[in-house]
Amino acid sequence: MHVPDGFIDAPVSLATGALAATAVATALRGARRELDDRAAPLAGLVAAFVFAVQMLNFPVAAGTSGHLLGGALAAILVGPYTAVLCISVVLLMQGVLFADGGLTALGVNITDMGVVTTLVAYGTFRVLLTLLPRRRPSVTAASFVAALVSVPAAACAFTLIYALGGTTDVPLGKVFTAMVGVHVLIGVGEAVITALTVGAVIAVRPDLVHGARGLVRPLELRTVVAGQAAPTPGPTPVPVRRSTRRVWAAGLLAALVCAGGVSYYASTSPDGLEKVAHDKGLDRKAEEHAAKGSPLADYQVADVSDARISGGLAGVIGVGATLAAGTGVLLVVRRRRAHPAPPAAEAPAEAPATGSV
Amino acid sequence: MGAGHGSGTAHRLYRPGRSPVHALPPHCKLLAVLSFVLVVVSTPRTAVWAFALYAALLAAVAATARIPAAVLLRRLLIEVPFVAFAVLMPFVATGDRVRVLGLSLSEPGLWGAWNVLAKGTLGVAASVVLAATTELRALLLGLQRLRLPPLLVQIASFMIRYGDVVADELRRMRVARASRGFRARGVRQWGVLARTAGTLFIRAYERGERVHLAMVSRGYAGAVPVIDEVTASRAQWGQAVALPLVALVVCAGGWAYAAG
């Protein structure tokens, strides 16, 4: 997605250049806080890592392969400031040395691939981490979603920049569809690889993963007094299993309130894009959605006359259905995990995964 | 990619030489290339002859620097993905249609494709000439002289210094995987490749910590002293500015042509 020279006109290139410079300046200050005087060597090595990992090709199918973009991965592993800095340095070096991406388009490239990707990924990651239970699988799941969202977000940002300063009149709808369509596919690959990579690092050095800092208990010093022959075992530290039931209940309640309440108050007029499409007659050719006849089509419950109540009800039912589907998947996964472990004696060895140091 | 030891920052992109272009101070060259590309980008696309003149200018610079045309052309291949994109443009853009070889193409789309191709190629060629005539370390010093924050320059120099080391580490892991019978065929092998990436991250990060400790034990306190400060004489500035100045004249001609 490296933008070449001449793709975006000069004023917008300069404006995005100023934006990128501001972002990099902020990131410099933030990275000094994140890494103090280790910033230069560590960020440099992480930039080298991002540069190398972009060379790692992942076979997709039938001879085609893709490579990692690394924005989400860097943000989760080393924190947002350092990540913005590393990706910007990689892009700068690619532009100056390898002529990959134009010099005048450097601002566009840094804004798009460095800043937007990283910020969207890290924001999503943080939000998800506060919602999910504080365990390691949550970190992996959150990084999956963060990477999945970040790539199409960059495509959207590109479309926006193109709308402001594109040099060719390709209809925006087409640019948007093509960019986002392709990048949703890329995003799926990016998400799987990012989640697996974060999982691999967490398994070995959880202390290195910036996004998982709260999860690791700091090491504690235990001293044995020499005079005692046998240190009394004392109350054995039973791994405290935090009940997730309360989190579940709170999440469910919040989702129901949001879906029901917010949809109740939300405007019943069609959203912006639908409206534009309708006004311009663009949707004349749009095919009827396959689920048009379903009782929840267009987020309205059939046979309920009041539009608002109907919308709210549809939201609640939607949350319920999503929850049921999600729980089903969870149960299946749990059962599959429990199934291939017949020697039950070994199971406790895995159990205190939450409290491992 | 033999990352240089000792005398070091020689890189496969740099072609050593003694030409006047090589001798120019790096910050002059950086500024010249940047302003040249800016001038090219702001030229109206209908002035086709202007782009031919720009290409001739760049070719003259490359000839002065004694860069073989084959090398230059081979390094231009990096922009192939955009060529593919530019080829698509005439098909998807709106506007008047013209018939070329039995295909209905959009006229603004054709102009757009020409625009991206011409400006993109010139930009890539200018960067290639810069990278071929300037040592990496000098390039970074030039960036620092152009007021790029020192921390950013330090990060960039560490990235350049250890980029090959980390890439070599990746290569060794690939050899190790392959010698154990691993072949990446499809999605099922992603787990192994992701673990490779994870290991690579841990190794890169730990190497960063070791490098930092080694530097601290040698008196590093957050800044790297610059011992090879470069300054530019007035004559050197004159030589460097010649390229964008001529380009600016061509650009003005192009605007006059487009206006009337």
Q: Where are the domains of chain B?
A: 20-143+230-259, 149-216
- pLDDT on residue A328: 64
Question: Could you tell me which of B215, B237, B189 has the C-alpha nearest to residue B27?
Answer: B237
CB contact under 8 A, A6 and B126: no
- pLDDT on residue A331: 63
Domain residue extents for chain A: 10-215, 246-267+292-339
Residues 189-218, chain A, touching B (beta carbon < 8 A) = 192-193, 196-201, 204-205, 208
Interface test with A, best of B111, B201, B251 (most A CBs within 10 A): B201
pLDDT in tens, A234-279: 444 444 444 556 556 666 666 665 555 544 444 444 444 444 444 4
Q: How far is A171 from chain B (nearest CA, A)?
A: 7
- pLDDT on residue B57: 92
pLDDT in tens, A58-68: 776 555 666 77
CB-count exposure of residue B49 (10 Å: 0-12, 13-18, 19+):
exposed
Distance CA A315, CA A301 (A): 9
CB contact under 8 A, A45 and B130: no
Q: How far is A238 from chain B (nearest CA, A)?
A: 32
Question: pLDDT over 90 for what percent of chain A?
Answer: 15
Q: At what angle do helices A10-35 and A136-165 cross, to 10 degrees?
A: 160
ipTM over 0.90: no
What the block records as the tokens of A120 is 């969207």
pLDDT in tens, A289-316: 444 445 454 444 555 555 555 555 666 6
Torsion of CA B82, B152, A47, B134, to 10 degrees: 60
Q: How far is CA A57 from the centre of its chain?
A: 21
Helix intervals (H) in B93-149: 107-133, 136-145
Cβ within 8 Å of residue A59, ≥6 positions away:
A65, B184, B185, B186, B187, B189
Give the number of beta-carbon pairs within 8 Å between A and B: 265
Instruction: For strands B103-106 and B97-100, give the pairing.
Output: antiparallel
CB contact under 8 A, B118 and A6: yes
Which residue from A minimizes the CA distance to B90? A170
- pLDDT on residue A63: 58
CB contact under 8 A, A103 and B37: yes
Contact in structure between A94 and A105 (CB atoms under 8 Å): no
Residues 2-61, chain A, touching B (beta carbon < 8 A) = 4-7, 9-10, 13, 24-25, 28, 31-32, 37-49, 51-53, 55-61
Distance CA A288, CA B207 (A): 57
Distance CA A158, CA A112 (A): 6
Chain B positions touching A86 (Cβ under 8 A) are 155, 159
pLDDT in tens, A14-69: 899 999 999 999 998 888 887 777 778 888 898 999 888 887 777 765 556 667 78
**A172–B contact, CB cutoff 8 A:** no
The DSSP output letter for B174 is: H
- Kindly report the CA angle at A215 between A200 and A118, in degrees rounded to 5? 65
**Confidence band (pLDDT; 50, 70, 90) for A283?**
very low
Q: Give the C-alpha distances (Å, rounded to integers) separating B22 from A95, B122, B140, B185.
A: 20, 20, 15, 46
Question: Could you tell me which of A135, A145, A316 has the C-alpha nearest to residue A239?
Answer: A135
Q: How far is CA A135 from the centre of its chain?
A: 17
- pLDDT on residue A64: 63
Distance CA B192, CA A76 (A): 20
- pLDDT on residue A123: 93
Cβ within 8 Å of residue A75, ≥6 positions away:
A83, A118, A119, A121, A122, A125, A146, A211
- pLDDT on residue B52: 92
Torsion of CA B185, B189, B190, B191, to 10 degrees: -170
Distance CA B259, CA A255 (A): 60
Q: What size, in residues, is chain A? A: 357
Question: Could you tell me which of A181, A197, A160 has the C-alpha nearest to residue A67?
Answer: A197
Q: Taking residues A208-232, what's their average pLDDT?
A: 70
- pLDDT on residue B149: 86
Interface test with A, best of B151, B159, B224 (most A CBs within 10 A): B159
Q: How far is A352 from chain B (nearest CA, A)?
A: 23
Cβ within 8 Å of residue A50, ≥6 positions away:
A70, A73, A74, A86, A87, A90
CB contact under 8 A, A104 and B37: yes
What the block records as the tokens of B129 is 């000439």
CB contact under 8 A, A95 and B127: yes
CB contact under 8 A, B195 and A197: yes
Q: Taking residues A322-347, what's their average pLDDT?
A: 56
Q: Is the domain defined by A10-215 classed in CATH 1.10.1760.20? A: yes
- pLDDT on residue A303: 53
Cβ within 8 Å of residue A334, ≥6 positions away:
none
- pLDDT on residue A329: 61
Secondary structure class of A65 (helix, strand, coil): strand
Which residue from A minimizes the CA distance to B193? A58
| Rg of chain A (C-alpha set) | 25
What the block records as the tokens of A183 is 């990048």
Q: Taking residues A334-350, what's their average pLDDT?
A: 49
CB contact under 8 A, B78 and A24: no
Which residue from B minimizes the CA distance to A89? B156
Give A61's strand partners: A64
CB contact under 8 A, B190 and A46: no
CB contact under 8 A, A102 and B124: yes
CB contact under 8 A, B190 and A192: yes
Q: How far is B238 from chain A (nearest CA, A)?
A: 22
Along chain B (260 residues), what's the average pLDDT of each consecutive run of 10 residues? 39 78 89 90 87 92 90 82 74 72 76 85 89 87 86 88 90 92 81 89 91 90 75 85 88 85
**pLDDT top residue among A115 and A284:** A115
Secondary structure class of A254 (helix, strand, coil): helix
- pLDDT on residue A19: 93
Chain A positions touching B207 (Cβ under 8 A) are 45
- pLDDT on residue B91: 76
Averaged pLDDT score across all residues of chain A: 73
> Of B159, B194, B199, which has the smallest distance from its Cβ to A48's Cβ?
B159
Which residue from A minimizes the CA distance to B155? A44
